[in-house]
């Protein structure tokens, strides 16, 4: 009997030594990949599962893609995890997770969107609404996704507070795409959400130009001189901000004609792939390499680039210092 017990103990120790019981090694011991419901929940969940399945096919790791109920749930899940959690927090969520875990979190890949490693918060309103400045938002109904969102709420709220703006009402939509839909449907006066630099025309004088923060957020899209969309291909660029996310629901030309960008706030470093407290570095390295490989596969890259997922077009390796500029923006000490 004693020999059986000893052999069992040796077997258990061997599992630990040789890594057979490591996280992700079986369906009973999976890695949890947390997804934030920042855009359209059903799409986020479906794409997340496809990404997890492809990582499994590449690495053999068992990964559960888990759509979180809201932004706060994402933070809490990361903070409570024990070496088995990774995910894609927004910028502000990452900072809160860092604070909650005492820095025991590891950001590894920043998203890139159309060549940019930053985004910003934008205020959107109907062009005929009379809302043209920050002061015009006083007393108006504000649409945002939820209070944990960097571009939807946190940054706009700080700017409104600093400038004495008091809104007349709020509509909490539950997702960035929902906010734009609510604005189009007249449920509020303006909405806030992510803004992205417009892409220049593919030909003509502007071809090859790079938009920089502080430039007109509708450059190459909306001509201020004649109050209309650019129609000439040599002048017209591509809109890739929140308005584009509703193009499968509404005619994009109509949306761009009716809805404009009032102002922007930022810039903000992009969201990321990060690993929670005590996540094994060797397994994190394997996942990072698998995701980098996904961006070399056009089908997988298309999933990452879905505007109702996270609209990542590439990734860039980072460390925590990547987020120091956001800390400076909000006056947060590390």
Q: Can you spell out the DSSP letters for 21-34?
A: TSTTSBTTBPEEEE
CA distances to 107, 149, 171, 185, 285 from 288, rounded to whole Å, are 10, 25, 38, 41, 5
CA distances to 31, 61, 74, 83 from 28, rounded to whole Å, are 10, 12, 22, 15
Could you read off the pLDDT of 54-94 as tens digits, one per residue? 999 999 999 999 999 999 999 999 999 999 999 999 999 99
Q: Is the model's pLDDT at 14 over the cut of 90? A: no
Closest CA to 94 of 318, 294, 256: 318
Tell the CATH superfamily of the 2-113+271-330 domain.
Answer: Periplasmic binding protein-like II (3.40.190.10)
Tokens of 41: 């929940």
Mean pLDDT of the region 10-21: 44
Tokens of 119: 């985004």
Which CATH class for the 118-269 domain? Answer: alpha beta
Peptide bond into 267 cis (omega under 30): yes
Say what the pTM is.
0.86
* Calpha distance 221→284 (Å, rounded): 41
CA distances to 173, 267, 274, 296, 330 from 326, rounded to whole Å, are 25, 8, 17, 30, 6
pLDDT at 281: 97
pLDDT at 3: 40
Q: Is the model's pLDDT at 9 over the cut of 50? A: no
What is the chain's mean pLDDT, rounded?
92
Mean pLDDT of the region 182-194: 98
Kindly list the domain boundaries of the chain, sorted by start residue.
2-113+271-330, 118-269
Could you read off the pLDDT of 226-269 as tens digits, one per residue? 999 998 878 899 999 999 999 999 999 999 999 999 999 999 99
| Chain centroid, CA 241 distance in Å | 12
How many CB atoms sit inside 10 A of residue 253's CB? Answer: 10
Largest CA-CA distance found in the chain, in angstroms, rounded: 91
In this structure, are residues 250 and 184 in contact, taking their beta carbons and an 8 Å threshold?
Answer: yes
Give me the residue label for tokens 């040796």. 10
* Calpha distance 19→324 (Å, rounded): 36
Q: Dihedral sign, CA of 183, 187, 189, 195?
A: negative
With 0-12 / 13-18 / 19 or more C-beta atoms within 10 angstroms meaning exposed / middle / buried, residue 98 is: buried
**What residues are paired with 170 via a beta bridge?**
142
In this structure, are residues 55 and 291 in contact, taking their beta carbons and an 8 Å threshold?
Answer: yes
- Fold agreement between 2-113+271-330 and 118-269: yes
| Chain centroid, CA 217 distance in Å | 19
């Amino acid at each position: 009997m004693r020999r059986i017990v000893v052999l069992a103990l040796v077997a258990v120790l061997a599992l630990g030594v040789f890594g057979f019981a490591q996280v992700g090694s079986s369906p009973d011991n999976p890695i949890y990949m947390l997804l934030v419901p920042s855009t359209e929940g059903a799409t986020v969940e479906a794409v997340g599962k496809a990404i997890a399945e492809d990582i499994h096919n590449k690495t053999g790791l068992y990964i559960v893609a888990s759509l979180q109920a809201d932004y706060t749930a994402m933070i809490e899940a990361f903070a409570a995890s024990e070496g088995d959690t990774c995910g894609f927090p927004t910028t502000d969520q990452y900072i809160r997770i860092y604070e909650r875990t005492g820095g025991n979190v590891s950001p590894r890949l920043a998203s890139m969107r159309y060549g940019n490693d930053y985004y910003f918060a934008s205020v959107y309103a109907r062009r005929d609404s009379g809302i043209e400045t920050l002061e015009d938002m006083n007393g108006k109904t504000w649409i945002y996704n939820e209070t944990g969102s960097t571009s939807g709420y946190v940054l706009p709220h700080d700017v409104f507070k600093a400038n004495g703006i008091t809104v007349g009402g709020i509509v909490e939509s539950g997702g960035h795409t929902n906010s734009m839909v609510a604005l189009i449907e007249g449920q509020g006066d303006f909405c806030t959400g992510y803004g992205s630099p417009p892409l220049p025309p593919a030909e003509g004088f502007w071809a090859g130009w790079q938009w920089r923060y502080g430039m007109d957020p509708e450059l190459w899209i909306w001509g201020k001189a004649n109050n209309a969309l650019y129609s000439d291909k040599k002048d017209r660029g591509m809109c890739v901000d929140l308005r584009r996310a509703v193009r499968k629901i509404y005619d994009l030309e109509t949306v761009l004609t009716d809805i404009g960008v009032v102002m922007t706030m930022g810039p903000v470093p992009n969201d990321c792939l990060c690993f929670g407290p005590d996540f094994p570095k060797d397994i994190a390295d394997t996942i990072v390499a698998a995701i980098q490989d996904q961006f070399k596969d056009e089908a997988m890259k298309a999933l990452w680039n879905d505007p109702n997922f996270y609209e990542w077009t590439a990734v860039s390796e980072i460390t925590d210092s990547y987020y120091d500029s956001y800390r400076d923006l909000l006056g947060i000490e590390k």
